[in-house]
């Protein structure tokens, strides 16, 4: 985060415990994170080197290793930063009580498709991209990525439970399983949209998902029938 204000004069004193270089150091870190998010959502982790990130961010090499122990540490920081951004996007749509619950989910899918379109469908989901590369990543990424997806699913589960309470989906459907199914399918649709450079996979998946749950068609997302012992 950058700071604003007048430069120090000869009579000014820096605040105790805050070195003069702190604002600049923080700015360099944010530049690296922004560059990392842009490059990794487009090219992936393995295809992007530290030198490329430094050039894109416009910061010296020492800045990278001052803020991050390694490229892997940087990658995990990006996962956190991307999740913070994405959760804000989800909450903006999901917590809008002026709309019916399923309409809020539609707002999210439309906004996400528009976001991909702004970048020519060349940038995908960082979590999905890293998941595709899991075989080449340290094991720490597995828990981090799984935790992010579970967090998104939890928010979606709450939304679908609200939709169920309002009669938008049938009482026989399991909101938790629906939420998991949504994210499995949505991440695949994002990958396909990036591959084909077009929005149709996103629109097709969203339309199919809503059709299935609103028409209460039998799917694997229905609650398993309990058998009596």
**pLDDT surpassing 50 at residue 4:** no
* Residues of the chain by 3-state class (helix, strand, coil), percent to 5: 65, 0, 35
**pLDDT surpassing 70 at residue 161:** yes
Encode pLDDT of 63-120 as tens digits.
899 999 999 999 999 999 999 999 999 999 999 999 999 999 999 999 999 999 999 9
Nearest to 45 by CA among 138, 118, 112: 138
pLDDT for residue 177: 98
Distances (CA, A) of 137 to 131, 133, 143, 144: 9, 7, 12, 12
pLDDT for residue 16: 39
Encode pLDDT of 190-205 as tens digits.
999 999 999 999 999 9
The whole-chain average pLDDT of the chain stands at 86
**pLDDT surpassing 70 at residue 167:** yes
Exposure of 125 in the CB half-sphere (CA atoms within 13 A): 24
- Per the CB < 8 A criterion, the answer to whether 130 and 79 are in contact is yes
Count CB-CB contacts under 10 A for residue 202: 22
Environment class of residue 10 by beta-carbon count within 10 Å: exposed (0-12), middle (13-18) or buried (19+)?
A: exposed
206 assigned to some structural domain: yes
pLDDT for residue 223: 53
194 assigned to some structural domain: yes
Domain with residue 157: its CATH number is: 1.10.357.10
- Per the CB < 8 A criterion, the answer to whether 61 and 54 are in contact is yes
Structure pTM? 0.82
pLDDT for residue 84: 97
Total domains in the chain come to 1
**For the residues 135-156, what does the mean pLDDT come to?**
97
14 assigned to some structural domain: no
Containing domain of residue 185, as a range? 76-214
193 assigned to some structural domain: yes
pLDDT for residue 225: 46
91 assigned to some structural domain: yes
7 assigned to some structural domain: no
Strand partners, 173: 222
Tell me the percentage of the chain whose pLDDT exceeds 70.
83
90 assigned to some structural domain: yes
Encode pLDDT of 24-75 as tens digits.
458 999 999 999 999 999 999 999 999 999 999 999 988 899 999 999 999 9
127 assigned to some structural domain: yes
Environment class of residue 113 by beta-carbon count within 10 Å: exposed (0-12), middle (13-18) or buried (19+)?
A: buried
pLDDT for residue 219: 46
């Amino acid at each position: 985060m950058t700071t604003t204000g007048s430069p120090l004069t000869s009579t000014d004193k820096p605040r105790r415990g805050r070195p003069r270089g702190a604002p600049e150091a923080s700015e360099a870190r944010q530049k690296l994170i922004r560059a990392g998010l842009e490059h990794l959502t487009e090219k992936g982790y393995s295809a992007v080197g530290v030198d490329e990130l430094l050039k894109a961010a416009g910061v010296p090499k020492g800045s990278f290793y001052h803020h991050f122990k390694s490229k892997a540490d940087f990658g995990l920081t990006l996962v956190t930063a991307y999740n913070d951004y994405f959760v804000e996007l989800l909450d903006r749509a999901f917590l809008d009580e002026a709309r019916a619950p399923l309409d809020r989910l539609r707002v999210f899918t439309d906004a996400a498709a528009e976001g991909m379109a702004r970048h020519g469908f060349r940038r995908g989901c960082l979590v999905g991209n890293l998941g595709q590369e899991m075989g080449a990543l340290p094991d720490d990424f597995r828990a981090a990525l799984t935790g992010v997806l579970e967090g998104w699913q939890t928010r979606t589960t709450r939304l679908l439970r609200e939709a169920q309470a309002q009669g938008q989906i049938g009482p026989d459907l399991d909101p938790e399983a629906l939420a998991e199914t949504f994210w499995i399918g949505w991440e695949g649709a994002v990958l396909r949209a990036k591959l084909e450079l077009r929005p149709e996979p996103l629109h097709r998946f969203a339309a199919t998902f809503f059709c299935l749950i609103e028409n209460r068609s039998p799917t694997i997302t229905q609650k398993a029938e309990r058998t009596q012992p």
